[in-house]
Structure 1
Amino acid sequence: MATPFKLSDDPSQRDLVGFAVMYTMSFAVIATSELMRRFCGVPSHITRKIIHVGAGLCVLFVISLFDHWQYAIIPHTSFIVVNAAVRRWKILKSMEPPNAKSWGTVYFCISVSSLFFLVCAKTYNDGLKWTVPQYVYLTGIMAMTLGDAFAAIIGERFGKRRHYVPVDQESNATSCKTYEGSAACFVAIFLGTLMVGWICSVDAWADAFVCATVGTFFEAISPWGTDNLTVPFSVCSVMYAVRM
């Protein structure tokens, strides 16, 4: 009997096109951000978030690009290794975190791959369609993608009132959280959930408030890039409990 965890004998033409599109989009986002840093003077804390948002939005295309989930999961899983290498050897300044303790880019890909596997895998067996499992998955990913990015950008630019400042005792580095950043996080997750609901034809107004509340809380208490794990898993868990 076939198992849902076994790779198909051969990828379909659609799967191959999906590979080409996903890797092209991903590397294009990274290359554009690096060029912006080098030639336009865009600071690395902004280019990191451009990559963060670009990579997260690419996730929206996965479900519609591939015929088999086993192949759809490969691009994001492979970037766990790529991002770890970039982070370890500081290959791209545009992706460098503000402190040595953050491995957020790696956590991002771990979250995308593992949540896709846990929530979406079985739905691929009967053909691609927008279903509740994909909705659950995408709410978690969009919460991480938009909430974390706007919390950082608004918090760094306008944040005045700090509510959480974890300190790395070895390097004396901080990872400040501000009320202004948290407010931006709440709004971004709320709107992101509504966007996912519109894509998946789900009435998401109540879900948007729940996702924004849960996601903002975990973003606020998670230092050193760990919000790329806590936010998507917490939001996805809540939506799974509500919708599944």
Structure 2
Amino acid sequence: MTVLALPSPPTSITLQLLLVGIWLGIVIGSAELLKRLITTDPEITRKVVHIGTGNVILLAWWLDVPTWVGIAASVIFSIVTLLSYRYPILSSVSGVGRKSLGTFFYALSIGILIAWFWPLKLPQYAAIGILTMTWGDGLAALIGQRFGRHPYQVWGMKKSWEGSLSMAGVSCLIIYGILWITQGNITATWISAVAISVIVSTLEAFSKWGIDNLTVPIASAALGFVFNEFWLT
């Protein structure tokens, strides 16, 4: 059952790419402006890009961009992010010489989920995966760094309960919201949202080298798909 109907999107590939490009330009430009005028903390600007860029999946969903466009964009940005670890490209996204490959995994996960769910005509699960990563993981990092008062360690990594609980809470709301919009089954959507948010928050806590940008979106999308297409229906 569809609860929310969106206006018809433009069908021209050129216009679709233009709209996506404008959105990404706004996000990256805002991060650069933030870095120059408000804060010198590179982690904040990276998270602004991390969160803002992920919302492109909603634009791609609304535009119904062809599968090949999403995959091609993922490949291009994956290459750019790998180069940015060595050269000063997109400094607001990934710093030169960083040990984490999180930005690369981020771009890669978008391509994988589009390749998986676009041909199935189930873009909501790709959106669940990407938005859980961008908003859940992104806000968890910011809240944990700023307000984390109850730390714990996993494999030598410093985490906080405030950050982990933020990850679980934000992920739960995102998953529930998307499933409610697309299927409207209140009981099933809450069961899925709570279960998946707990699992992916645990994955995030145990992830190193930025691989949570791959494991979290893949796991949340896959679990949402299995729960709602096979188990809870």
User: Residue 152 of structure 1 corresponds to which residue in structure 2?
Assistant: 141
Residue aligned with 1:224, SS: coil
For 1:137 and 1:118, locate their aligned partners in 2 and report how far apart those are by CA, in whole Å.
Answer: 8
For 2:64 and 2:197, locate their aligned partners in 1 and report how far apart those are by CA, in whole Å.
Answer: 30
Equivalent residue in structure 2 for 1:110, among 100, 108, 114: 108
Equivalent residue in structure 2 for 1:239, among 211, 217, 224: 224
Q: In the superposition, relative to structure 1, how do residues 23 and 105 fare at CA in structure 2: closer, same or farther (>3 Å)?
A: same
**What letter corresponds to residue 136 of structure 1 in structure 2?**
Y
Aligned pairs for 1:30-45 (under 5 A) are: 30-45=28-43
Aligned: 1:138 with 2:127: yes
Equivalent residue in structure 1 for 2:179, among 175, 182, 197: 197
For 1:82 and 1:109, locate their aligned partners in 2 and report how far apart those are by CA, in whole Å.
Answer: 10
User: 1:200: Cα distance to partner?
Assistant: 2.2
User: 1:138: Cα distance to partner?
Assistant: 1.7
Q: In the superposition, relative to structure 1, how do residues 33 and 242 fare at CA in structure 2: closer, same or farther (>3 Å)?
A: same
Q: Is the 8 A contact 2:88 2:95 kept in 1?
A: no
Q: In the superposition, relative to structure 1, how do residues 153 and 67 fare at CA in structure 2: closer, same or farther (>3 Å)?
A: closer
Aligned: 1:85 with 2:72: no
Does 74-83 or 221-230 show the bigger shift?
A: 74-83
Aligned pairs for 1:176-187 (under 5 A) are: 176-187=158-169
> Over residues 125-178 of structure 1, what are the superposed CA-to-partner deviations in whole Å (9 max), with x where a residue is unaligned?
xxxxxxxx22222211111111110110011011133222545xxxxxxx4211
User: 1:94: Cα distance to partner?
Assistant: 1.9
User: 1:90: Cα distance to partner?
Assistant: 3.2
For 1:213 and 1:122, locate their aligned partners in 2 and report how far apart those are by CA, in whole Å.
Answer: 26
Aligned pairs for 1:51-62 (under 5 A) are: 51-62=49-60
Q: Could you tell me which runs of 5 or more consecutive residues in structure 2 were left unpaired when the two chains were aligned.
A: 1-9
Q: Is the 8 A contact 2:139 2:167 kept in 1?
A: yes
Normalised by the length of structure 2, the TM-score is 0.84
Q: Is the 8 A contact 2:31 2:45 kept in 1?
A: yes
User: Residue 202 of structure 2 corresponds to which residue in structure 1?
Assistant: 217
Q: Is the 8 A contact 1:191 1:208 kept in 2?
A: yes
Alignment size in residue pairs: 217
**What is the RMSD of the two structures over their aligned residues, measured on CA atoms?**
2.2
Q: Identical aligned pairs, as a percentage?
A: 28
User: Residue 5 of structure 1 corresponds to which residue in structure 2?
Assistant: none
User: Residue 7 of structure 1 corresponds to which residue in structure 2?
Assistant: none
> Over residues 43-102 of structure 1, what are the superposed CA-to-partner deviations in whole Å (9 max), with x where a residue is unaligned?
211111110111111111102214532224333332112222223213333223598211
Does 28-37 or 200-209 show the bigger shift?
A: 200-209
Equivalent residue in structure 2 for 1:229, among 207, 211, 214: 214
Q: Is the 8 A contact 1:87 1:95 kept in 2?
A: no
Q: Is the 8 A contact 2:70 2:111 kept in 1?
A: no
For 1:73 and 1:98, locate their aligned partners in 2 and report how far apart those are by CA, in whole Å.
Answer: 25
For 1:238 and 1:93, locate their aligned partners in 2 and report how far apart those are by CA, in whole Å.
Answer: 34
Q: Is the 8 A contact 2:85 2:96 kept in 1?
A: no
Aligned pairs for 1:6-25 (under 5 A) are: 14-25=12-23
User: 1:180: Cα distance to partner?
Assistant: 1.1
User: Residue 8 of structure 1 corresponds to which residue in structure 2?
Assistant: none
Normalised by the length of structure 1, the TM-score is 0.81
Equivalent residue in structure 2 for 1:73, among 71, 74, 81: 71
